[in-house]
Amino acid sequence: MAGQRELSAARERLAAAHAVAVLTGAGISAESGIPTFRGAGGLWRNFRPEELATPEAFARDPRTVWEWYLWRRGLIDAAEPNAGHRALVTLEQQRPRFTLITQNVDGLHDRAGSRRILKVHGDIWQSRCTACAYQRKDRALAYPTLPPPCPECGEPLRPGVVWFGEALPRIVWAEAERAVSQADVLLVVGTSAQVYPAAGLIEMARFVMEVNVATTPFSPSVAISLQGPSGEILPALV
């Protein structure tokens, strides 16, 4: 667990910062019971996420990919935001210039009460058509047929998330880059920083503070590394 000296250094730095950006990954939702991809519980029916979260997997077997997403929706639906998500709501309320960027698709930041969220990997609670421009908010935990057909053109709907090998949403990404390059502090929470281009944001930042239960490729080079669960560290920070 991070020591008192590091924690107060981080608190001071945060208090002095004019603009603050936060980048979150799957780790911030781990204490809500949502498995990370690389941690325990990341496997589903012996598939690795890399074998399911791709356009190729969906083209080959859309039914299985949808079953996996519906299973994940069920887990998320039964979970609650944790103290880490809530601390970021407090931080947003305290700071006039604050940007939350998340790689998570679970919507727990929304449910905790964060107002402005840049979702660089999309949202599991959205579906969109593989053929036309149709998209919708989608709370379904099951469908009569899989893959569900588009109500406008009949082609399969897909989850509104970004898969491995796909481009990030352009405008959201540009806003994230701008927020990070203008921030006095970037707080990086619960991400293994292995997934590019999101991890590239960390390289762009002026001053990085990291919160993670483990060390990451960035730990040696960040200004302040706070080791421990985000549900404990973040409330202690804000």
Does 105 sit near ligand NAD (CB under 6 A)? Answer: yes
CA–CA dist 40, 26 (Å, integer):
12
Q: Which residues within the stretch 6-45 sit at the binding site for ligand NAD (CB under 6 A)?
A: 25-27, 29-31, 34, 36-39
Residues 6+ apart with CB under 8 A from 94: 238
Q: Which residues within the stretch 129-148 sit at the binding site for Zn ion (CB under 5 A)?
A: 129, 131-132, 134
In the complex, least distance from residue 133 CB atom to Zn ion, rounded to whole angstroms = 8
CA–CA dist 18, 98 (Å, integer):
9
In the complex, least distance from residue 65 CB atom to Zn ion, rounded to whole angstroms = 18
Partner whose footprint covers residue 22, from Zn ion, ligand NAD, none (CB < 5 to 8 Å by kind): none
> Which position's Cβ is nearest ligand NAD?
27
Binding residues (CB under 6 A) for ligand NAD: these are: 25-27, 29-31, 34, 36-39, 103-106, 121, 190-192, 194-195, 211-214, 216, 229-230
